[in-house]
Amino acid sequence: MFRLTPILLLMILTACGKPLPPQPQDPLTVGKRIYFARCVTCHQRNGSGTLKNRRWAADFTEPGGVLAKPDEELVQSIMKGKKGDFSRMPAFEPILSPEQVDAVLLYIRKTYWQGE
Ligand code: HEC
């Protein structure tokens, strides 16, 4: 009986341990997931918006291109949608939260843009 005490104590301590708080998710990881779920069909894996020599959407890789615009303007375009020369981007307001839009924009900037 006496020899069991340390084990018992350990069991009680473990049971009392609080569960870990949910780990905050890295916005870049969140952004990447959203990009590949919602954006890649038009903007493509390489961010160029071009597939088989056909342009579908904005090119994120041009240094002086769309990503040279300020974040607020780009967030608006993503939220409200945008008609381009090649196709039309749907409004993502009903689908994505403001945090998700920020995350996907961060992902695009970090991954594709060569500008400042
Ligand atoms: C149905 C095709 C389509 C999908 C899906 C799509 N886009 Fe677009 N996107 C476009 C088109 C078309 C434009 C406008 C191109 C132009 O101005 O000529 C555009 C433009 C943009 C721009 C530039 C906006 C500006 O103000 O110039 C950003 C940023 C952008 N898209 C991000 C995204 C993100 C993020 C997603 C996914 C959440 C997404 N797009 C999904 C077609 C799409």
Nearest to 31 by CA among 93, 108, 94, 90: 108
- Tokens representing 19 are 């569960």
Q: What spacing in Å lies between the alpha carbon of 52 and ligand 1's midpoint?
A: 18
The Cα–Cα gap between 73 and 10 comes to 56
CB of 82 shorter than 6 A to ligand 1:
yes
More confidently predicted of 77 and 12: 77
- Closest residue by Cα to atom 32, ligand 1, is 78
Residue type, position 115, single letter? G
Best substitution site from 82, 92, 108 to test ligand 1's pocket, by max atoms within 8 Å of Cβ? 82
The Cα–Cα gap between 5 and 108 comes to 57
Report domain extents, the chain. 25-112
pLDDT-derived band of residue 9, with 50, 70 and 90 as boundaries? Answer: low
Report residue 16: phi and psi, to 5°.
-80, -15
% of residues, the chain, pLDDT over 70: 84
Residue type, position 56, single letter? W
CATH number for the domain whose boundaries are 25-112: 1.10.760.10
